[in-house]
């Protein structure tokens, strides 16, 4: 049976460091960090995430500012809100919950966010910075996965990492971070031929697919580290249940280490959102007051 990586516990440790950083910024500069969360429409899954985010922000001493807009909000109204948050000095981080309703242009909204406040790391400037291995804000889910991997695995150099999924929010930035850590990286997706064989060669397998329990034991090299990003609500035995993209019961005996769902990548994502809010605030505060030493970690 592989080691189960406890995302809940690790996220609490990350959050504790964030709380200390937040307190230090308050003590040094008298600044309370603010995170704006924008939710358009009433998707129930999004509501849960937003609620968790608001709670964790509170625990870290970050003020969260919620903006709930109706599903029929126009592009102009949403852009105007983002613009006002861009210019609000009390707001250090801006998160627009995705997906947006179909009539809204996600790329256009993301591009409207001040890149220094883009705590999701989705703005093209931050995407480019990551691709070029330059400083910037890194997407929370892949960042959380890297913290888990470093804890479970130590040095990643030379390992073969396979990422299933090539989305802009998970798969691609995940692959970029693994490459930066000197892994040999393969990205698999819906057109990959013999995906089981590709995965079976992985020392590290990251599944970000959105297909409940797709990854089975015979996809896994014995002893491999398996990171399950998937969050899928399914019905089993007449009950609603959250499962990952990995068949946990099947895979756990073969893996060397594995993340559960829930209690794995999800809580790490939220902790990294708070971490990014600190990173963003430090940059903004040092741009305003370059002479003042703004805490570091």
Ligand X SMILES: NC(=O)C1=CN([C@@H]2O[C@H](COP(=O)(O)OP(=O)(O)OC[C@H]3O[C@@H](n4cnc5c(N)ncnc54)[C@H](OP(=O)(O)O)[C@@H]3O)[C@@H](O)[C@H]2O)C=CC1
Among 8, 200, 211, 283, binds ligand X (CB under 6 A): 211
Q: 94 a known binding residue?
A: no
Find the shortest distance in angstroms from Cβ 68 to Mg ion.
18
Beta pairing class for 204-207 and 63-69? unpaired
**21 in catalytic set:** no
Q: 190 a known binding residue?
A: no
Q: 231 a known binding residue?
A: yes
Residue 210 tokens, joined: 């959105």
* 25 binds ligand X, rule: CB under 6 A: no
Find the shortest distance in angstroms from Cβ 72 to ligand X.
24
b/e sequence 240-276, b meaning 16+ C-beta within 10 Å:
eeebbbbbbeebbebbbbbbbbebbbbbbbbbbbbbb
Find the shortest distance in angstroms from Cβ 38 to ligand X.
17
- Count the neighbouring beta carbons within 10 Å of the beta carbon of residue 125: 17
* Subset of 118-177 contacting ligand GUE (CB under 6 A): 120, 140
Assess contact for 263 and 8: CB atoms under 8 A: yes
Q: 147 a known binding residue?
A: no
CA-to-CA distance for 30 and 213, rounded, in angstroms?
A: 48
CA-to-CA distance for 116 and 258, rounded, in angstroms?
A: 34
CA-to-CA distance for 243 and 211, rounded, in angstroms?
A: 9
Which among ligand X, Mg ion, ligand GUE, none contacts residue 255 (Cβ within 5 to 8 A by kind)?
Answer: none
The one segment of 54-62, 108-116, 165-173, 198-206 that binds ligand X by CB under 6 A: 165-173
Which residues form the catalytic set?
53, 97, 120
Residues that bind ligand X (CB under 6 A): 141, 164-167, 169-171, 188-191, 195, 208-211, 214, 229-232, 265-266, 269
Binding-site residue numbers for NADP(+) are: 165-167, 231
């Amino acid at each position: 049976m592989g080691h189960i990586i406890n995302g809940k516990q690790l996220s609490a440790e990350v959050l504790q460091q964030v709380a200390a950083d937040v307190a230090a910024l308050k003590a040094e500069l008298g600044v309370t960090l603010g995170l704006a969360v924008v939710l358009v429409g009433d998707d129930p899954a999004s509501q849960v995430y937003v609620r968790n985010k608001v709670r964790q922000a509170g625990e870290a001493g970050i003020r969260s500012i919620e903006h709930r807009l109706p599903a029929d909000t126009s592009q102009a109204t949403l852009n105007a809100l983002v613009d006002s948050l861009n210019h609000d000095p009390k707001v250090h981080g801006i998160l627009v919950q995705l997906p947006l309703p179909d009539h809204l242009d996600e790329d256009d909204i993301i591009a409207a966010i001040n890149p220094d406040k883009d705590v999701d790391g989705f703005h093209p400037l931050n995407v480019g910075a990551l691709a070029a291995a330059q400083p910037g804000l890194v997407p929370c889910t892949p960042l959380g996965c890297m913290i888990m991997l470093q804890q479970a695995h130590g040095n990643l150099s030379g390992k073969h990492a396979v990422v299933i999924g090539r989305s802009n929010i998970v798969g691609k930035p995940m692959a970029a971070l693994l490459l930066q850590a000197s892994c040999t990286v393969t990205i698999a997706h819906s057109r990959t031929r013999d995906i089981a064989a590709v995965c079976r060669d992985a020392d590290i397998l990251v599944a970000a697919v959105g297909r409940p329990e797709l990854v089975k034991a015979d996809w896994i090299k014995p002893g491999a580290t398996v990171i399950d990003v998937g969050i899928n609500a399914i019905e089993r035995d007449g009950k609603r249940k959250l499962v990952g993209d990995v068949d946990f019961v099947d895979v756990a005996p073969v893996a060397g280490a594995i993340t559960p769902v829930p209690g794995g990548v999800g809580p790490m994502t939220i902790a990294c959102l708070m971490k990014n809010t600190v990173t963003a605030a430090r940059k903004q505060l040092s741009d305003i007051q370059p002479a003042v030493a703004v805490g570091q970690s």
